[in-house]
Structure 1
Amino acid sequence: MNLHRLALTVSLVCALGSIATTAEAARVAPKGKVRVHLDTEVLSWTHGRPYYEPGEAPDPANPRWNVIGFGAGRPVTIDGNPVGGASVIALGVGYGIHRHLILGARFGMNLSHSFNRNNNPNDGANDDSQTAFVGTFTPYLEILPIPEGPVLPYILVRTGFTGASLTTNDGPNWTRSGAMAPLLGVGFGAHAFVTQYFSIDFGMTFDYRWVHGIGGRVGGPGVPPMPAPVWGRTAQAFTLAGTLGISTWF
């Protein structure tokens, strides 16, 4: 009999806790709150083509590239090196400036320095190294049709850029290349609140990037003076993605 009463009491407490949590989530209103979030891609498709200057004859082979990705916890494509390579997981921070608006930005960076060494004093590669950098900054605006509730649908508008550089050192001489991609994106999704302070975020996004590059910059005591290279547009690409993220609100 006592065990039956204990089980009934535990069930009642759990039910009341569940009701309280649901009620707490139902009262969520982002206005005046800070949002800190991480986003990942579950599924994405990126399609790109080279850019041709006005009057430039296009390649008759019509080159193009496609990248399809799937998997939990993947970095967001627009945060990666515009010409391929290292990616970052950007941190997002937003603020509810109005009951229907959240203004924020996603940002991140990845700096790495690599070098191989051995004990052979005659190996010229012992003074070689590479330094790579990737950085991303994407301001965004979320429009909330429903300003309060346990599930808040949103419409997303964002713009920003991702940049990268690669420096290869051969002793005191170096070669540096770079890439930068301004972007414009839209999307939609929903914040599903587990508690008043935590939500799971689902979304679909479409981003278009204009890729620019610069290469051939060299320097060092063993390199004769050369004309400085200039930035130029090299490609354009779009990414369609399904995203999954988490947010804390306070």
Structure 2
Amino acid sequence: MNPIGIFDSGIGGLTVFKSIAAALPAYDYIYLGDNSRAPYGNRSFNTIHQYTWECVQWLFGQGCPLIILACNTASAKALRTIQQKDIQALDPDKRVLGVIRPTAEVVGNYSNTGEIGVLGTNGTVQSNSYPLEIEKFFPNLKVYQQACPLWVPLIESGEYEKPGADYFVKEYIDGIMAQSANIDTLLLGCTHYPLIQDKIEAHLPKNVRVVAQGDIVADSLVNYLQRHPEMEQNLSKGQTKLFYTTDDTAEFDHHASRFFSAPVTSSHVAVNELRCK
């Protein structure tokens, strides 16, 4: 097997995986969620790079020639170093792609006012990756950012389903909307956030559109494989989906099964196995 690897700090990347698997159903996939060390958003640059690179190397070891970082924080703080330094030293034929660039290429098309808001983790917001990348494609677009540090812990713990989560959702929504009355598009700049999209939309004016990344990243991957037949031909097509987590498998399976509308059985990978490189 030469599967496509999909990595996230936890369960959020499943929102991207579902879209990718729907767009490219023939391929084999391995998903790795580093749930035991989530959230990544409040960690240092060096720690995020270390954790991400460990997980990427583990997926390489499972035969994945192509890996998608379905994590905005990892894409913001680790992807560039992995692409330009780490892979070159390990195996230049392998590829690691992120979620920020493909999102930045199209997000401006959703706005009529020319003003958008980005909701993300502390790490993603502090990196300023979205404003920098979006400016390359939409130089006249005004981009506002709001860090939402409590959302990923709420989602990873399952507390997001309870009514008490609405208080913290509203707090950050009020924060981003207070920055400009002309914001008409909100980008969910973390792959966990679609899990609370209904709560987010409940606290927004009707004219504000919420944009998730799943379909955007899936479309970008389809385009990438069309432009790189040497990679596409190297990927195996057995329609398998394997799931791994560094934390409790039963909790992971509960969330993953809801995403894929079918039972999911994951396997456990200990963190020290990731570090054995």
Q: TM-score scaled to structure 2, two decimals? A: 0.24
Asked which structure has the greater RCO (Cα within 8 Å, sep 6+), the reply is 2
Q: TM-score scaled to structure 1, two decimals? A: 0.26
Greater helix content: 2
Greater strand content: 1
* CA radius of gyration, larger in: 1
